[in-house]
Amino acid sequence: MDSADYRFWTGRAADWAADYRDTIRTRPVRARTAPGEIAARIPAAPPEAPEPMEAIFADFERDIVPGMTHWQHPRFFAYFPANAAPVSVVAEILVSAMAAQCMLWQTSPAATELETRVLDWLRQALGLPDGFHGVIQDSASSATLAAVLTMRERALGWAGNRQGLAGVPAVRVYASPEAHSSVERAIWIAGIGADNLVRIPTHGPLRGMQAQALEAAITADRTAGFLPAGIVACIGGTSIGGTDDIAAVAAVAARHGLFLHVDAAWAGSAMICPEFRTLWAGVEAADSLVFNPHKWLGAQFDCSAHFVRDPEALVRTLAIRPDYLRTHGKDGVVNYSEWSVPLGRRFRALKLWFLIRAHGLDGLRTMIRNHVAWARDLAERIDAEPDFEIVSAPVLSLFSFRYKPAGCADADADALTQRLLTAINDDGRIYLTQTTVDGRYAIRFQAGQFETTRDDVTAAYDIITGIARGL
Ligand SMILES: *Cc1c(COP(=O)(O)O)cnc(C)c1O
């Protein structure tokens, strides 16, 4: 592609992106394609000869876009949001254009130094003390893996990477059943084994770990010859927003010298609003915590903010430092690839810098406060409907409900709620997903898309209740 073509096609792509935003409300939120339908349109073998860009671009619009689910649709109420504020997309275009590998300070000093700065902006925005140091990971899963590896190494006196785990007491990690699946996968990958991830029973509406049960499990494990290493606490779990009492869990961690990692992947963004910080009261005692600006805050995927109290412990766990990666003559500089599992890293700080400056923390707080208020209004309206039941009360902007007309048995309500969800998503005007709460099927609702309005949430009420009546 020559320079003139590059200019032309990046311009076409930018125009397409703006048109996409302008027309997104006319599209069904969830893709309406059957499995295999898109693959059938793509040739099974690669082309030998170059093809014209016109043809490639036309095929993108014809064959690919109809198979997309529109995460930037203001009526996307499924999963958790994956916001890409337009300003962060602009930053990503610049990052793609420069395409730097930002693994070491010297491979792009600006990327490293901006990362240090904007992560400290985020730390202040969340109200975390200045003892926390931030790094951007590609995902919360990676941050949690890094934390689990650190707790393992710390418990093994930093010998695990060298010696492996054979012949040492089984390392034990504690979490609630509400913890994300990424915790269990980190346990697998760290060689700890799922049998050594101890699930602590929960209590209360937020389903937090019972501190006494946690304490008892650790003590029993010690007696049995296991090696308790750390705790992964959860704030705003994926199913219903399950949340541990961090202060209580941190007290147990401190008493037993365990490493405490906090997974606030979704809910962490809301902590820029001081009034929501009660949800993670005590977080200053954590050793490590992760939240995803690529979920609610508006930094386009991928962008996970990982804060640690002791970067030395993380670097001791993950840095290899072969000769060819040394930055000669620049001792004391930060090489962020030593803070994460992958070596290569994209320049992810730029979109955060653009985002925070263009919206200001106040603009971002207003968005989050609106989502929380609108979701609570919707939960109240659904609760007031005799045919509906709130299954889990709102945690920030997330709640779940089910459809259970009078006289309907539990098992029938499960099937009916499932039918309702399918009908809503086939309809396409909104998109919702499901969960299971105490063995019962429930529909999740979360408001969090960057451009969602109060009218969109009101429309969700009309669509949910209207489709239910037509079942
Ligand atoms: C989304 C989510 C994750 C996983 O985040 P990734 O960045 O996709 O790895 C982990 N924990 C919780 C609570 C989440 O909501």
**Where residue 20 sits, what CATH number does that domain have?**
3.90.1150.170
* CATH number, domain with residue 201: 3.40.640.10
Q: Is 89 domain-assigned?
A: no
Residue 321's pLDDT is what?
77
Q: Is 12 domain-assigned?
A: yes
Question: Does residue 370 share a domain with residue 415?
Answer: yes
Instruction: Work out the pLDDT band at 268, boundaries 50, 70, 90.
Output: very high
Q: Is 73 domain-assigned?
A: yes
Q: Is 328 domain-assigned?
A: yes
CA 457 / ligand 1 centre spacing (Å): 24
What value, to the nearest 5°, has the Cα angle with vertex 296 and ends 295 and 299?
65
Q: What percentage of the chain reaches a pLDDT higher than 70?
A: 98
CA 238 / ligand 1 centre spacing (Å): 8
Q: Is 355 domain-assigned?
A: no
Residue 312 has pLDDT above 60, yes or no: yes
- Domain span including residue 152: 101-346
d(CA 133, CA 311) in angstroms, rounded, equals 7
Question: Does residue 73 share a domain with residue 57?
Answer: no
> Quick one: which atom of ligand 1 is closest to the CA of 142?
9
CA 264 / ligand 1 centre spacing (Å): 8
Enter the tokens of residue 54: 């016109």
Structurally, how many domains does the chain consist of? 3
Kindly state the average pLDDT of the residues 352-361: 98
List ligand 1's pocket residues with C-beta within 6 A. 80, 139-141, 180, 182, 237-238, 263, 265-266, 292, 304
CA 139 / ligand 1 centre spacing (Å): 7
Kindly state the average pLDDT of the residues 373-382: 98
CA 331 / ligand 1 centre spacing (Å): 35
CA 384 / ligand 1 centre spacing (Å): 32
Question: Does residue 372 share a domain with residue 249?
Answer: no
Question: Does residue 200 share a domain with residue 54?
Answer: no
CA 191 / ligand 1 centre spacing (Å): 21
Question: Does residue 276 share a domain with residue 188?
Answer: yes
> Quick one: which atom of ligand 1 is closest to the CA of 139?
7
d(CA 232, CA 287) in angstroms, rounded, equals 10
Roughly how many angstroms between the first and final C-alpha of the chain, as a whole number?
54
For residue 338, how many other CB atoms are within 10 A of its CB? 20
CA 446 / ligand 1 centre spacing (Å): 15
CA 394 / ligand 1 centre spacing (Å): 19
Alpha helices of 60-210 — where are they, by DSSP H? 86-98, 109-126, 140-155, 160-163, 181-189
Question: Does residue 42 share a domain with residue 113?
Answer: no
Residue with tokens 């095929």: 59
d(CA 95, CA 213) in angstroms, rounded, equals 48
Instruction: Work out the pLDDT band at 447, boundaries 50, 70, 90.
Output: very high
- Residue that terminates a domain, selected from 346, 373, 394: 346
Total-model pTM: 0.95
416-438 pLDDT, tens digit per residue, is 999 999 999 999 999 999 999 99
Residue 418, CA distances (Å) to 355, 401, 424, 433 in order: 38, 11, 10, 10
> Quick one: which atom of ligand 1 is closest to the CA of 264?
13
Q: Give the mutation target among 266, 279, 290 for probing the ligand 1 site: most ligand atoms within 8 A of CB.
A: 266
> Quick one: which atom of ligand 1 is closest to the CA of 236?
13
3-state secondary structure of 32: coil
Instruction: Work out the pLDDT band at 356, boundaries 50, 70, 90.
Output: very high
Residue 333 has pLDDT above 90, yes or no: no
CB 209 within 8 A of CB 233: yes
DSSP 347: -
d(CA 443, CA 24) in angstroms, rounded, equals 24
Q: Is 356 domain-assigned?
A: no
Question: Does residue 175 share a domain with residue 76?
Answer: no
> Quick one: which atom of ligand 1 is closest to the CA of 294?
7
DSSP 309: S
Q: What pairs with residue 259 in β-bridges?
A: 230
Enter the tokens of residue 433: 């997903």
Q: Is 352 domain-assigned?
A: no
Enter the tokens of residue 160: 């695990």
- Residue that terminates a domain, selected from 320, 346, 372: 346
Question: Does residue 109 share a domain with residue 12?
Answer: no
Q: Whose CA is nearest to atom 12 of ligand 1?
A: 265
CB 253 within 8 A of CB 216: no
146-178 pLDDT, tens digit per residue, is 999 999 999 999 999 999 999 999 999 999 999
Q: Whose CA is nearest to atom 14 of ligand 1?
A: 265
> Quick one: which atom of ligand 1 is closest to the CA of 234?
13
Among 288, 269, 190, which Cα is nearest to 231's?
288
d(CA 299, CA 294) in angstroms, rounded, equals 5
Residue with tokens 């590998």: 101
Question: Does residue 285 share a domain with residue 154?
Answer: yes
Residue 115, CA distances (Å) to 105, 198, 300, 347, 349 in order: 11, 35, 15, 8, 5
Q: Whose CA is nearest to atom 8 of ligand 1?
A: 139
Question: Does residue 296 share a domain with residue 150?
Answer: yes
What length is written for the chain? 471
Question: Does residue 276 share a domain with residue 201?
Answer: yes
CB 174 within 8 A of CB 198: yes
CA 291 / ligand 1 centre spacing (Å): 8
Question: Does residue 439 share a domain with residue 327?
Answer: no
Q: Is 354 domain-assigned?
A: no
> Quick one: which atom of ligand 1 is closest to the CA of 238?
15
Among 404, 453, 456, 412, which Cα is nearest to 432's?
456
> Quick one: which atom of ligand 1 is closest to the CA of 182?
10
Q: Whose CA is nearest to atom 2 of ligand 1?
A: 265
* Cα Rg of the chain (Å, integer): 24
CA 143 / ligand 1 centre spacing (Å): 10
d(CA 211, CA 385) in angstroms, rounded, equals 37
